Protein backbone atom coordinates (compact mmCIF):
# COMPACT_ATOMS: atom_id res chain seq x y z
CA UNK A 1 0.00 0.00 0.00
CA UNK A 2 3.02 2.27 0.09
CA UNK A 3 2.39 3.34 -3.49
CA UNK A 4 -1.03 4.67 -2.43
CA UNK A 5 0.53 7.48 -0.38
CA UNK A 6 -0.09 10.85 -1.93
CA UNK A 7 2.34 13.73 -1.83
CA UNK A 8 0.62 15.39 1.13
CA UNK A 9 1.10 12.30 3.33
CA UNK A 10 -2.50 11.08 3.33
CA UNK A 11 -3.71 7.75 2.05
CA UNK A 12 -5.18 7.96 -1.42
CA UNK A 13 -6.82 4.62 -2.11
CA UNK A 14 -8.64 5.63 -5.28
CA UNK A 15 -6.13 3.83 -7.51
CA UNK A 16 -5.40 0.87 -5.22
CA UNK A 17 -6.26 -2.57 -6.57
CA UNK A 18 -9.44 -4.21 -5.21
CA UNK A 19 -7.36 -6.90 -3.45
CA UNK A 20 -5.39 -4.25 -1.55
CA UNK A 21 -8.55 -2.50 -0.40
CA UNK A 22 -10.14 -5.82 0.63
CA UNK A 23 -7.02 -6.71 2.63
CA UNK A 24 -7.06 -3.26 4.26
CA UNK A 25 -10.69 -3.69 5.31
CA UNK A 26 -10.17 -7.26 6.55
CA UNK A 27 -7.03 -6.43 8.52
CA UNK A 28 -7.72 -2.89 9.78
CA UNK A 29 -11.48 -2.33 10.01
CA UNK A 30 -13.16 -5.68 10.57
CA UNK A 31 -10.99 -6.69 13.58
CA UNK A 32 -12.05 -3.48 15.36
CA UNK A 33 -15.73 -4.13 14.63
CA UNK A 34 -15.44 -7.78 15.68
CA UNK A 35 -13.29 -7.24 18.77
CA UNK A 36 -14.43 -9.72 21.46
CA UNK A 37 -17.49 -10.63 19.38
CA UNK A 38 -17.56 -14.13 20.89
CA UNK A 39 -18.56 -12.68 24.24
CA UNK A 40 -20.08 -9.37 23.21
CA UNK A 41 -22.63 -9.10 20.51
CA UNK A 42 -25.44 -6.71 19.72
CA UNK A 43 -28.78 -8.08 20.92
CA UNK A 44 -31.19 -5.50 19.56
CA UNK A 45 -32.06 -5.11 15.89
CA UNK A 46 -30.98 -1.45 16.07
CA UNK A 47 -27.49 -2.34 17.32
CA UNK A 48 -27.14 -5.21 14.84
CA UNK A 49 -27.99 -2.78 12.04
CA UNK A 50 -25.38 -0.30 13.29
CA UNK A 51 -22.64 -2.93 13.36
CA UNK A 52 -23.62 -4.44 10.00
CA UNK A 53 -23.71 -0.96 8.41
CA UNK A 54 -19.91 -0.82 8.68
CA UNK A 55 -19.64 -3.90 6.50
CA UNK A 56 -22.36 -2.65 4.15
CA UNK A 57 -20.37 0.51 3.42
CA UNK A 58 -17.08 -1.28 2.79
CA UNK A 59 -17.84 -3.23 -0.43
CA UNK A 60 -18.58 0.00 -2.29
CA UNK A 61 -15.20 1.37 -1.25
CA UNK A 62 -13.37 -1.89 -2.03
CA UNK A 63 -14.97 -2.29 -5.46
CA UNK A 64 -14.99 1.47 -6.21
CA UNK A 65 -18.75 1.34 -6.75
CA UNK A 66 -20.33 4.02 -4.64
CA UNK A 67 -23.40 4.52 -6.79
CA UNK A 68 -26.78 4.45 -5.08
CA UNK A 69 -27.86 1.88 -7.70
CA UNK A 70 -25.10 -0.58 -6.76
CA UNK A 71 -26.33 -3.63 -4.87
CA UNK A 72 -24.51 -4.11 -1.57
CA UNK A 73 -25.71 -7.72 -1.42
CA UNK A 74 -24.28 -8.46 -4.87
CA UNK A 75 -20.98 -6.83 -3.92
CA UNK A 76 -20.79 -8.82 -0.65
CA UNK A 77 -21.45 -12.03 -2.59
CA UNK A 78 -18.83 -11.08 -5.19
CA UNK A 79 -16.28 -10.51 -2.41
CA UNK A 80 -17.43 -13.72 -0.65
CA UNK A 81 -17.71 -11.91 2.68
CA UNK A 82 -20.02 -13.54 5.21
CA UNK A 83 -22.18 -11.24 7.31
CA UNK A 84 -20.76 -10.06 10.62
CA UNK A 85 -23.66 -11.89 12.32
CA UNK A 86 -22.47 -15.16 10.74
CA UNK A 87 -18.91 -14.43 11.85
CA UNK A 88 -20.13 -13.71 15.43
CA UNK A 89 -22.08 -16.98 15.42
CA UNK A 90 -18.98 -18.89 14.33
CA UNK A 91 -16.90 -17.12 16.98
CA UNK A 92 -19.33 -18.22 19.73
CA UNK A 93 -19.27 -21.84 18.51
CA UNK A 94 -15.47 -21.79 18.40
CA UNK A 95 -15.36 -20.23 21.89
CA UNK A 96 -17.51 -23.04 23.27
CA UNK A 97 -15.37 -25.66 21.48
CA UNK A 98 -12.30 -24.16 23.17
CA UNK A 99 -14.04 -24.36 26.57
CA UNK A 100 -15.33 -27.92 26.07
CA UNK A 101 -11.97 -29.30 25.03
CA UNK A 102 -10.10 -27.28 27.72
CA UNK A 103 -7.90 -25.47 25.22
CA UNK A 104 -7.80 -22.53 27.68
CA UNK A 105 -7.58 -22.60 31.45
CA UNK A 106 -11.08 -21.31 32.27
CA UNK A 107 -13.41 -23.19 34.60
CA UNK A 108 -16.73 -22.77 32.78
CA UNK A 109 -18.55 -24.53 35.65
CA UNK A 110 -17.96 -21.44 37.83
CA UNK A 111 -20.38 -19.58 35.57
CA UNK A 112 -23.05 -22.26 35.73
CA UNK A 113 -23.66 -22.97 39.41
CA UNK A 114 -24.58 -20.62 42.26
CA UNK A 115 -22.64 -20.30 45.51
CA UNK A 116 -23.68 -22.66 48.31
CA UNK A 117 -26.74 -21.48 50.27
CA UNK A 118 -27.71 -18.73 47.82
CA UNK A 119 -30.32 -18.57 45.16
CA UNK A 120 -29.21 -18.25 41.57
CA UNK A 121 -30.85 -14.82 41.32
CA UNK A 122 -28.94 -13.42 44.30
CA UNK A 123 -25.63 -15.00 43.34
CA UNK A 124 -25.33 -13.79 39.80
CA UNK A 125 -24.34 -10.20 39.33
CA UNK A 126 -25.39 -8.44 36.15
CA UNK A 127 -22.08 -9.41 34.52
CA UNK A 128 -22.44 -13.05 35.53
CA UNK A 129 -25.99 -13.21 34.19
CA UNK A 130 -24.77 -11.78 30.88
CA UNK A 131 -21.95 -14.34 30.82
CA UNK A 132 -24.47 -17.11 31.54
CA UNK A 133 -26.70 -15.81 28.74
CA UNK A 134 -23.77 -15.78 26.31
CA UNK A 135 -22.77 -19.28 27.33
CA UNK A 136 -26.31 -20.61 26.97
CA UNK A 137 -26.66 -19.00 23.52
CA UNK A 138 -23.38 -20.64 22.51
CA UNK A 139 -24.67 -24.01 23.75
CA UNK A 140 -27.84 -23.60 21.64
CA UNK A 141 -25.65 -22.89 18.61
CA UNK A 142 -23.46 -25.88 19.45
CA UNK A 143 -26.46 -28.22 19.36
CA UNK A 144 -27.45 -26.88 15.92
CA UNK A 145 -24.21 -27.87 14.21
CA UNK A 146 -23.86 -31.40 12.80
CA UNK A 147 -22.79 -33.85 15.52
CA UNK A 148 -19.68 -34.92 13.60
CA UNK A 149 -18.38 -31.34 13.69
CA UNK A 150 -18.35 -31.27 17.50
CA UNK A 151 -15.46 -33.77 17.55
CA UNK A 152 -13.28 -31.97 15.01
CA UNK A 153 -9.97 -30.35 15.96
CA UNK A 154 -10.19 -26.56 16.23
CA UNK A 155 -8.78 -25.67 12.78
CA UNK A 156 -10.98 -28.28 11.08
CA UNK A 157 -14.01 -26.88 12.91
CA UNK A 158 -13.19 -23.37 11.64
CA UNK A 159 -12.96 -24.66 8.06
CA UNK A 160 -16.16 -26.67 8.37
CA UNK A 161 -18.11 -23.72 9.78
CA UNK A 162 -17.10 -21.66 6.75
CA UNK A 163 -18.76 -24.18 4.42
CA UNK A 164 -21.74 -25.24 6.56
CA UNK A 165 -25.10 -23.48 6.50
CA UNK A 166 -26.37 -23.05 10.09
CA UNK A 167 -30.02 -22.58 11.03
Q: Is residue 167 within 8 Å of 144, Cβ to Cβ?
A: yes
Cα(first)–Cα(last) distance of the chain, in Å? 39
Q: d(Cα 8, Cα 11) in Å, to the nearest integer? A: 9
pLDDT tens figures, 102-139: 888 877 666 554 444 444 444 445 555 555 666 777 88
pLDDT tens figures, 37-86: 777 777 788 888 888 888 888 888 888 887 766 788 888 888 988 888 88
Q: What angle do CA 158, 159, 164 make, to 5 degrees?
A: 95
Helix segments in 43-153, DSSP class H:
45-62, 72-79, 84-100, 120-123, 126-144
100: number of Cβ within 10 Å = 13
Amino acid sequence: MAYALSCNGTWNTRFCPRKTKANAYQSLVRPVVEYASAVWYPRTKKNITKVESVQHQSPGWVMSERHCTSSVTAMLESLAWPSLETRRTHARIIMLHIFIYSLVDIDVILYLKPAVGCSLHNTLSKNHSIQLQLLSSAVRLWYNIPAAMTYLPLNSLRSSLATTQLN
